Amino acid sequence: MARKKSATLTGDAAELVARERVCRVATVSGEGVPHLVPVCHVLMNGKIYLGSGDDATKVRNLKANPRVTVTVDLYSDHWGSIKGVMVQGRGKLIERGPAFMRARRRLYEKYPQYPKSAAISPSDSVVVEVTPTHVFTWGLE
């Protein structure tokens, strides 16, 4: 499986990340304990955004260590059809303001169940903004 590396999320990699409904987010605590969780996400202007409760493990980890990895992949029993994108980057916590509201609006547009099932509120939620530093792809050639 060939891997291509880039510093930006563009082209086929951006299309896959934008289209898929779930990604996996990996963070590491200040003590070096890894944490991996599936989340809903949106792509805006080359950055990945996700909502979270402000007391979630991934948020505590990002406060201690802003490095984050996000993976979107498509598995197939026909291994020649496997596709994926892994984004390594820096996570930034957005607690309120226009950037918070913009990301929330986009998440609500992509996931209509979000407002009723897991509302993102400035009083108890944050938006995580992931800025890519390295982008790896496979199966998108």
Distance of CA 90 to the CA centre of its chain: 11
Closest CA to 104 of 32, 31, 42: 42
Q: Which CATH class is domain 3-138?
A: mainly beta
What percentage of the chain has pLDDT greater than the value 70? 97
State both tokens at 78.
């026909």
Strands (E), the chain: 3-6, 23-28, 34-39, 42-44, 47-53, 67-74, 83-94, 125-138
Q: How confident is the model at residue 92 (pLDDT cuts 50, 70, 90)?
A: very high
Strands (E), 47-124: 47-53, 67-74, 83-94
* pLDDT surpassing 50 at residue 127: yes
Q: Where are the domains of the chain?
A: 3-138
Whole-model pTM: value is 0.93
What average pLDDT score do residues 39-61 get? 96
Q: What is the mean pLDDT of the chain?
A: 92
